[in-house]
Amino acid sequence: MIALRLMAVTLLVALAASTTWARSFNKRANFDPSCTGVYDRELLGRLSRLCDDCYNVFREPKVATECRSNCFYNPVFVQCLEYLIPADLHEEYQALVQTVGK
């Protein structure tokens, strides 16, 4: 009986560990694999939110995906940046693109 409980606990621990690893892997998979620079979830999330906001404003299906393409280094991202972010923060966002990008 004790051996059965020990085996069940071991199985649950192994399952929890693999689920945590898979969840972490899946979060990373959400970002463009062309982003070969520094992997920083906070920076990638900030850039990604800009694309989400841009989609929410324009409601064009391709805006969100095109904004993220080539690791945010594209004309759609620049247009979203110019439309949604104050001009004094544009350089900061461009620096973020360079950090996570190529």
- Give residue-wise pLDDT tens across range 6-34: 565 556 556 555 544 444 444 555 566 88
- Please count the structural domains in the chain: 2
Same domain, 62 and 15: no
Placement of tokens 């095109």 in the chain: 66
Same domain, 39 and 25: no
Same domain, 43 and 93: yes
Find out whether 63 and 51 touch, Cβ atoms under 8 Å.
Answer: yes
61: CATH: 1.10.2010.10
Q: Share the mean pLDDT of the chain.
A: 82
Same domain, 47 and 76: yes
Distance of CA 34 to the CA centre of its chain: 12
Count CA atoms within 13 Å of residue 91 on its CB side: 1
Residue range of the domain that includes 4 = 1-30
Same domain, 80 and 102: yes
pLDDT value of residue 3:
56
State how far the alpha carbon of 52 is from the alpha carbons of 1, 2, 14, 16, 55, in Å: 54, 52, 36, 32, 5
- Taking the whole predicted model, whether its pTM rises above 0.75 is answered as no
